[in-house]
């Protein structure tokens, strides 16, 4: 049996339905309309030099380093040059709208939720047995064994074992709520008394606690969060008004 290599618009629509992507696509369509309407309301415009610069940045970010590679990328994505320009224009318009509607709000949000962005640099071993966890805690505390040795012995995940149980820098808001008490530690590095959660008994080594400042990565994270909230609010208004 031969397979038809031709793909029609009907095929694409059918696949979107089967893969349950229609609600996501509808939301994206309305988001695009909201961005355009809000930008027009606020007299936000994109000038040709800005569009050209944004297009250059888009190509650089997507490694479209030559005309031939760009043409191939457009072909793969079934885009015309005009549609490519529409993508870049919408992204730039969205960025400019974001700057306008969130003026001063990012800083305000940060200072209201500053503790959420404090980070802990930690290593972790999760043990099933409370007695064993306490035994290892006191052994580490008394210098009888190193945390890395406990990690090597009791961690089963090869990658985590290789890193000695290192979890990285974790923001308070991203840490299991049962473990947030580690932020009460005032002296470090040190091992903290095992903490019980549904996962087991967490033996944690605190290397450092970093107090949050409004760094660029945190600024962008908050900005993205607030912008998403802004768009969802507009989308909700649109749905309500449409009824």
Q: Is the separation of the CB atoms in 108 and 223 below 8 Å?
A: no
The dihedral formed by the CA atoms of 112, 114, 117 and 118, expressed in degrees to the nearest 10: -160
Answer yes or no: CATH 3.30.2320.80 is held by domain 119-210: no
Whole-angstrom distance, CA of residue 186 vs CA of residue 232: 40
Query: What is the number of alpha carbons within 13 Å of residue 134 lying toward its C-beta?
Result: 4
pLDDT tens by residue, the chain, 243 residues = 677 778 888 998 999 999 999 999 988 999 999 999 999 999 999 999 999 999 999 999 999 999 999 999 999 999 999 999 999 999 999 999 999 999 889 999 999 999 999 999 999 999 999 999 999 999 999 999 999 999 999 999 999 999 999 999 999 999 999 999 999 999 989 999 999 999 999 999 999 999 999 999 999 999 999 999 999 999 888 766 665
Alpha-carbon distance values, 159 to 120, 149, 235 (Å): 20, 15, 42
Residue spans per domain, the chain: 9-101, 119-210
């Amino acid at each position: 049996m031969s397979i038809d290599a031709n793909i029609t618009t009907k095929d694409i629509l059918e696949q979107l339905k089967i893969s349950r992507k229609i609600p996501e696509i509808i939301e994206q369509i309305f988001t695009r309309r909201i961005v355009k309407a809000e930008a027009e309301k606020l007299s936000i415009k994109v000038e040709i030099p800005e569009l050209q610069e944004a297009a250059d940045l888009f190509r650089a970010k997507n490694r479209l380093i030559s005309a031939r590679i760009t043409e191939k990328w457009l072909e793969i994505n079934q885009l015309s040059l005009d549609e490519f320009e529409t993508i870049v224009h919408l992204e730039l318009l969205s960025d400019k709208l974001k700057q306008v509607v969130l003026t001063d709000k990012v800083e305000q949000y940060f200072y209201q939720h500053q503790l959420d962005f404090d980070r802990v640099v930690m290593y972790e071993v999760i043990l099933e047995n409370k007695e064993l966890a306490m035994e290892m805690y006191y052994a580490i505390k008394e210098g009888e064994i190193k945390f890395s040795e406990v990690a090597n012995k009791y961690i089963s995940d090869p990658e985590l074992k290789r890193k000695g149980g290192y979890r990285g820098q974790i923001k308070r808001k991203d840490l299991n709520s049962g473990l947030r008490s580690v932020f009460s530690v005032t002296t470090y590095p040190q091992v903290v008394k095992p903490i019980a959660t549904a996962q087991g008994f967490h033996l944690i080594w605190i290397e450092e606690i970093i107090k949050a400042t409004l760094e660029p990565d945190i600024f962008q994270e908050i900005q993205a969060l607030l912008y998403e909230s802004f768009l969802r609010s507009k989308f909700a208004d649109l749905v309500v008004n449409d009824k």
